[in-house]
Amino acid sequence: MYSFSTAKDLLKLCKTHDTGIADIAIRYEMEYSQRHRAETIARMRKIKNVMKDAINEGINNPRKSAFRMSGGSAPKLIKALRKKKMAMSPLALRAMAYATATGETNAAMGRIAAFPTAGGAGVVPGVMLACTEVWKMSERKLLNGLFTASAIGKIIAEGATLSAAAGGCQAEVGAAIAMATAGVTEMRGGTPKQCLNAASLGLKSYLGIVCDPLGGLVAVPCIKRNTLGAATALAASDASLAGIESFIPFDEVVMAMKNIAKIMSPKLRETALGGLAVTPTGLRIRKKIGLPPIK
Ligand code: SF4
Protein backbone atom coordinates (compact mmCIF):
# COMPACT_ATOMS: atom_id res chain seq x y z
CA MET A 1 0.00 0.00 0.00
CA TYR A 2 2.85 2.40 0.79
CA SER A 3 5.44 0.83 -1.48
CA PHE A 4 7.17 3.01 -4.06
CA SER A 5 10.04 2.56 -6.48
CA THR A 6 10.05 5.91 -8.23
CA ALA A 7 9.76 9.57 -7.35
CA LYS A 8 6.53 9.66 -9.31
CA ASP A 9 5.01 6.91 -7.10
CA LEU A 10 6.29 8.65 -4.00
CA LEU A 11 4.80 12.03 -4.94
CA LYS A 12 1.50 10.32 -5.70
CA LEU A 13 1.47 8.69 -2.26
CA CYS A 14 2.25 12.04 -0.60
CA LYS A 15 -0.62 13.63 -2.48
CA THR A 16 -3.12 10.84 -1.83
CA HIS A 17 -2.39 10.79 1.90
CA ASP A 18 -1.81 14.53 2.14
CA THR A 19 1.50 14.05 3.90
CA GLY A 20 5.28 14.41 3.50
CA ILE A 21 7.95 12.00 2.26
CA ALA A 22 9.10 11.14 5.80
CA ASP A 23 5.65 9.98 6.81
CA ILE A 24 5.30 7.80 3.71
CA ALA A 25 8.76 6.34 4.37
CA ILE A 26 7.74 5.54 7.97
CA ARG A 27 4.47 3.95 6.83
CA TYR A 28 6.32 1.93 4.19
CA GLU A 29 8.87 0.72 6.75
CA MET A 30 6.09 -0.24 9.18
CA GLU A 31 4.34 -2.19 6.46
CA TYR A 32 7.54 -3.85 5.24
CA SER A 33 8.98 -4.78 8.63
CA GLN A 34 5.63 -5.36 10.37
CA ARG A 35 6.64 -3.07 13.21
CA HIS A 36 4.67 -0.39 15.01
CA ARG A 37 5.38 3.28 14.35
CA ALA A 38 7.09 3.79 17.72
CA GLU A 39 9.42 0.86 17.12
CA THR A 40 10.19 2.01 13.58
CA ILE A 41 11.12 5.46 14.84
CA ALA A 42 13.13 3.98 17.73
CA ARG A 43 15.20 1.97 15.25
CA MET A 44 16.00 5.12 13.28
CA ARG A 45 16.94 6.82 16.56
CA LYS A 46 19.48 4.04 17.17
CA ILE A 47 21.01 4.66 13.75
CA LYS A 48 21.15 8.38 14.51
CA ASN A 49 22.98 7.64 17.77
CA VAL A 50 25.58 5.55 15.91
CA MET A 51 26.05 8.49 13.52
CA LYS A 52 26.55 10.86 16.45
CA ASP A 53 29.11 8.60 18.12
CA ALA A 54 31.07 8.20 14.89
CA ILE A 55 31.26 11.99 14.51
CA ASN A 56 32.40 12.47 18.11
CA GLU A 57 35.01 9.78 17.67
CA GLY A 58 36.43 11.34 14.50
CA ILE A 59 36.64 14.79 16.08
CA ASN A 60 37.66 14.03 19.66
CA ASN A 61 39.71 10.89 19.20
CA PRO A 62 41.27 11.21 15.74
CA ARG A 63 43.15 8.13 14.63
CA LYS A 64 45.23 7.47 11.54
CA SER A 65 43.97 4.79 9.19
CA ALA A 66 46.04 1.95 7.78
CA PHE A 67 49.01 3.25 5.79
CA ARG A 68 48.32 6.66 7.35
CA MET A 69 46.17 7.79 4.45
CA SER A 70 43.58 9.52 6.64
CA GLY A 71 42.84 10.77 10.15
CA GLY A 72 42.91 14.19 11.77
CA SER A 73 41.20 16.28 9.09
CA ALA A 74 37.88 16.60 10.93
CA PRO A 75 39.36 18.50 13.92
CA LYS A 76 41.09 20.84 11.45
CA LEU A 77 37.72 21.75 9.94
CA ILE A 78 36.30 22.34 13.43
CA LYS A 79 39.24 24.67 14.15
CA ALA A 80 38.55 26.45 10.86
CA LEU A 81 35.19 27.54 12.32
CA ARG A 82 37.12 30.16 14.29
CA LYS A 83 38.99 31.45 11.24
CA LYS A 84 37.97 34.67 9.59
CA LYS A 85 37.25 35.01 5.89
CA MET A 86 36.33 31.38 5.29
CA ALA A 87 34.31 31.04 2.08
CA MET A 88 31.87 28.51 3.51
CA SER A 89 29.34 29.37 6.20
CA PRO A 90 29.92 28.03 9.74
CA LEU A 91 27.05 25.59 9.11
CA ALA A 92 28.62 24.25 5.91
CA LEU A 93 32.03 23.95 7.58
CA ARG A 94 30.48 22.04 10.46
CA ALA A 95 28.66 19.72 8.04
CA MET A 96 31.93 19.13 6.20
CA ALA A 97 33.72 18.44 9.51
CA TYR A 98 31.06 15.93 10.59
CA ALA A 99 31.08 14.18 7.20
CA THR A 100 34.88 13.95 7.40
CA ALA A 101 34.78 12.68 10.98
CA THR A 102 32.46 9.85 9.97
CA GLY A 103 34.70 8.86 7.07
CA GLU A 104 37.79 8.97 9.26
CA THR A 105 36.14 6.85 11.92
CA ASN A 106 35.24 4.34 9.23
CA ALA A 107 38.76 4.28 7.77
CA ALA A 108 40.19 3.72 11.28
CA MET A 109 37.90 0.66 11.67
CA GLY A 110 35.48 2.44 13.99
CA ARG A 111 31.71 1.96 14.05
CA ILE A 112 29.61 3.91 11.58
CA ALA A 113 26.10 3.71 10.14
CA ALA A 114 26.35 2.73 6.47
CA PHE A 115 23.86 5.25 5.17
CA PRO A 116 23.57 4.27 2.36
CA THR A 117 27.01 2.58 2.26
CA ALA A 118 30.22 2.70 4.30
CA GLY A 119 32.10 4.73 1.68
CA GLY A 120 29.33 7.31 1.40
CA ALA A 121 28.43 7.28 5.08
CA GLY A 122 29.59 10.80 5.91
CA VAL A 123 27.30 13.05 3.89
CA VAL A 124 23.91 12.32 5.49
CA PRO A 125 24.99 12.56 9.14
CA GLY A 126 27.32 15.46 8.34
CA VAL A 127 24.59 17.58 6.82
CA MET A 128 21.69 16.57 9.04
CA LEU A 129 23.38 16.60 12.42
CA ALA A 130 25.10 19.90 11.69
CA CYS A 131 21.79 21.51 10.63
CA THR A 132 19.99 20.11 13.68
CA GLU A 133 22.66 21.55 15.96
CA VAL A 134 23.16 24.93 14.32
CA TRP A 135 19.48 25.60 13.68
CA LYS A 136 18.43 24.03 16.99
CA MET A 137 15.99 21.67 15.36
CA SER A 138 14.15 18.96 17.27
CA GLU A 139 15.09 15.30 17.23
CA ARG A 140 11.74 14.59 15.58
CA LYS A 141 12.68 16.80 12.65
CA LEU A 142 16.04 15.12 12.35
CA LEU A 143 14.52 11.64 12.35
CA ASN A 144 12.00 12.75 9.72
CA GLY A 145 14.89 14.01 7.62
CA LEU A 146 16.57 10.63 7.92
CA PHE A 147 13.39 8.84 6.83
CA THR A 148 13.13 11.16 3.83
CA ALA A 149 16.76 10.42 2.97
CA SER A 150 15.98 6.69 3.19
CA ALA A 151 13.11 7.06 0.73
CA ILE A 152 15.49 8.65 -1.78
CA GLY A 153 18.01 5.85 -1.21
CA LYS A 154 15.29 3.28 -1.91
CA ILE A 155 14.42 4.93 -5.23
CA ILE A 156 18.09 5.01 -6.30
CA ALA A 157 18.65 1.40 -5.19
CA GLU A 158 15.66 0.17 -7.16
CA GLY A 159 16.07 2.41 -10.20
CA ALA A 160 19.87 2.25 -10.50
CA THR A 161 22.26 1.00 -7.82
CA LEU A 162 23.90 1.83 -4.50
CA SER A 163 26.88 -0.37 -5.26
CA ALA A 164 30.22 1.13 -6.25
CA ALA A 165 31.17 -2.16 -7.88
CA ALA A 166 28.19 -1.71 -10.18
CA GLY A 167 28.03 2.05 -10.60
CA GLY A 168 31.16 3.79 -9.31
CA CYS A 169 31.21 6.56 -6.72
CA GLN A 170 28.08 8.21 -8.12
CA ALA A 171 26.29 5.25 -6.49
CA GLU A 172 27.88 5.87 -3.09
CA VAL A 173 28.72 9.53 -2.50
CA GLY A 174 26.39 10.71 -5.30
CA ALA A 175 23.48 8.78 -3.79
CA ALA A 176 24.38 10.05 -0.31
CA ILE A 177 24.24 13.65 -1.57
CA ALA A 178 20.80 13.09 -3.09
CA MET A 179 19.61 11.54 0.16
CA ALA A 180 21.07 14.24 2.39
CA THR A 181 19.81 17.15 0.36
CA ALA A 182 16.27 15.77 0.19
CA GLY A 183 16.33 15.05 3.92
CA VAL A 184 17.57 18.47 4.90
CA THR A 185 15.12 20.15 2.52
CA GLU A 186 12.28 18.37 4.32
CA MET A 187 13.75 19.42 7.69
CA ARG A 188 13.65 23.02 6.46
CA GLY A 189 9.97 22.79 5.60
CA GLY A 190 10.35 21.97 1.91
CA THR A 191 7.50 20.29 0.06
CA PRO A 192 7.92 16.74 -1.32
CA LYS A 193 8.45 18.27 -4.76
CA GLN A 194 11.18 20.58 -3.45
CA CYS A 195 12.86 17.62 -1.70
CA LEU A 196 12.92 15.58 -4.90
CA ASN A 197 14.06 18.59 -6.89
CA ALA A 198 16.96 19.06 -4.46
CA ALA A 199 17.80 15.37 -4.88
CA SER A 200 17.90 15.84 -8.66
CA LEU A 201 20.21 18.85 -8.38
CA GLY A 202 22.49 17.04 -5.93
CA LEU A 203 22.73 13.76 -7.79
CA LYS A 204 23.24 15.42 -11.17
CA SER A 205 26.34 17.15 -9.87
CA TYR A 206 27.97 13.79 -8.99
CA LEU A 207 26.83 11.74 -12.00
CA GLY A 208 29.68 9.85 -13.63
CA ILE A 209 31.99 10.01 -10.61
CA VAL A 210 34.14 6.89 -10.66
CA CYS A 211 35.22 4.61 -7.83
CA ASP A 212 39.01 4.65 -7.66
CA PRO A 213 40.15 4.09 -4.06
CA LEU A 214 43.89 3.91 -3.46
CA GLY A 215 44.87 0.31 -2.80
CA GLY A 216 41.16 -0.59 -2.70
CA LEU A 217 40.91 0.89 0.82
CA VAL A 218 37.97 3.14 1.68
CA ALA A 219 40.00 6.22 2.60
CA VAL A 220 41.38 8.16 -0.38
CA PRO A 221 39.55 9.75 -2.18
CA CYS A 222 36.44 8.55 -0.32
CA ILE A 223 36.61 10.69 2.82
CA LYS A 224 37.20 14.00 1.09
CA ARG A 225 34.50 13.23 -1.47
CA ASN A 226 32.17 13.03 1.55
CA THR A 227 33.59 16.30 2.91
CA LEU A 228 32.84 18.18 -0.28
CA GLY A 229 29.68 16.18 -0.88
CA ALA A 230 28.23 17.65 2.33
CA ALA A 231 28.74 21.16 0.96
CA THR A 232 27.12 20.14 -2.33
CA ALA A 233 24.09 18.71 -0.52
CA LEU A 234 23.58 21.98 1.36
CA ALA A 235 23.99 23.99 -1.84
CA ALA A 236 21.42 21.81 -3.65
CA SER A 237 18.95 22.29 -0.80
CA ASP A 238 19.43 26.08 -0.88
CA ALA A 239 19.03 26.12 -4.65
CA SER A 240 15.82 24.08 -4.50
CA LEU A 241 14.31 26.25 -1.77
CA ALA A 242 15.32 29.34 -3.77
CA GLY A 243 13.16 28.07 -6.62
CA ILE A 244 15.85 26.67 -8.93
CA GLU A 245 14.28 23.75 -10.74
CA SER A 246 16.11 20.78 -12.16
CA PHE A 247 15.19 20.52 -15.82
CA ILE A 248 15.54 16.73 -15.53
CA PRO A 249 13.14 15.09 -13.07
CA PHE A 250 14.59 12.82 -10.39
CA ASP A 251 13.45 9.54 -11.96
CA GLU A 252 15.26 10.48 -15.16
CA VAL A 253 18.42 11.44 -13.27
CA VAL A 254 18.33 7.96 -11.69
CA MET A 255 17.81 6.49 -15.15
CA ALA A 256 20.87 8.40 -16.40
CA MET A 257 22.88 7.12 -13.43
CA LYS A 258 21.96 3.55 -14.40
CA ASN A 259 23.00 4.16 -18.01
CA ILE A 260 26.33 5.64 -16.94
CA ALA A 261 26.93 2.65 -14.65
CA LYS A 262 26.39 0.30 -17.58
CA ILE A 263 29.03 1.97 -19.74
CA MET A 264 31.53 2.67 -16.95
CA SER A 265 34.74 0.67 -17.31
CA PRO A 266 35.21 -2.08 -14.67
CA LYS A 267 38.58 -0.41 -14.00
CA LEU A 268 36.63 2.47 -12.48
CA ARG A 269 34.27 0.39 -10.36
CA GLU A 270 35.94 -0.41 -7.04
CA THR A 271 38.74 -2.50 -8.55
CA ALA A 272 41.49 0.07 -7.86
CA LEU A 273 42.69 -0.37 -11.46
CA GLY A 274 41.99 3.13 -12.76
CA GLY A 275 41.61 6.80 -11.92
CA LEU A 276 43.34 8.06 -8.77
CA ALA A 277 44.27 4.50 -7.80
CA VAL A 278 46.80 4.34 -10.64
CA THR A 279 48.44 7.74 -10.15
CA PRO A 280 52.07 7.55 -8.97
CA THR A 281 50.84 8.12 -5.39
CA GLY A 282 48.14 5.48 -5.82
CA LEU A 283 50.65 2.96 -7.18
CA ARG A 284 53.05 3.72 -4.31
CA ILE A 285 50.29 2.85 -1.83
CA ARG A 286 49.42 -0.26 -3.82
CA LYS A 287 53.04 -1.44 -3.54
CA LYS A 288 53.15 -0.63 0.17
CA ILE A 289 50.03 -2.71 0.78
CA GLY A 290 51.58 -5.60 -1.11
CA LEU A 291 49.09 -5.75 -3.96
CA PRO A 292 50.43 -7.17 -7.24
CA PRO A 293 51.57 -4.63 -9.88
CA ILE A 294 49.04 -3.72 -12.55
CA LYS A 295 49.85 -5.22 -15.94
S1 SF4 B 1 35.75 6.04 -4.26
FE2 SF4 B 1 34.71 4.05 -4.25
S3 SF4 B 1 35.09 3.19 -2.22
FE4 SF4 B 1 35.49 5.40 -2.13
S5 SF4 B 1 33.54 6.32 -1.46
FE6 SF4 B 1 33.60 6.39 -3.70
S7 SF4 B 1 32.54 4.51 -4.24
FE8 SF4 B 1 33.11 4.24 -2.13
Interval between CA 82 and ligand 1 midpoint (Å): 31
* 22-72 per-position pLDDT tens digit: 999 999 999 999 999 999 999 999 999 999 999 999 999 999 998 999 999
Question: What is the identity of the amino acid at 258?
Answer: K
Tell whether pTM > 0.85.
Answer: yes
Q: Are 121 and 113 in contact (CB under 8 A)?
A: yes
pLDDT score recorded for residue 173? 98
Interval between CA 163 and ligand 1 midpoint (Å): 9
Sign of CA pseudo-dihedral 248, 254, 259, 261: positive
pLDDT tier, 16 (very low <50, low <70, confident <90, very high otherwise): very high
Domain residue limits, the chain? 7-289
Instruction: Let me know the angle formed at the C-alpha of 275 by 294 and 199, rounded to the nearest 5 degrees.
Output: 145
Q: Where are the beta strands (DSSP E) in the chain?
A: none
- Is 116's C-beta closer than 6 angstroms to any atom of ligand 1? no
Atom of ligand 1 nearest to the CA of 164: 7
Residue 52's CB: how many other CB atoms inside 10 A? 16
Atom of ligand 1 nearest to the CA of 172: 7
* 218-254 per-position pLDDT tens digit: 999 999 999 999 999 999 999 999 999 999 999 999 9
Residue 194: name the closest of 186, 203, 202 by CA. Answer: 186
pLDDT score recorded for residue 66? 87
Q: Whose CA is nearest to atom 7 of ligand 1?
A: 169
Interval between CA 55 and ligand 1 midpoint (Å): 19
Burial of 95 (0-12, 13-18, 19+ CB in 10 A): buried
How far apart CA 278 and CA 162 sit, in angstroms, is: 24
- Is 167's C-beta closer than 6 angstroms to any atom of ligand 1? no
How far apart CA 176 and CA 252 sit, in angstroms, is: 17
73 has a pLDDT exceeding 90: yes
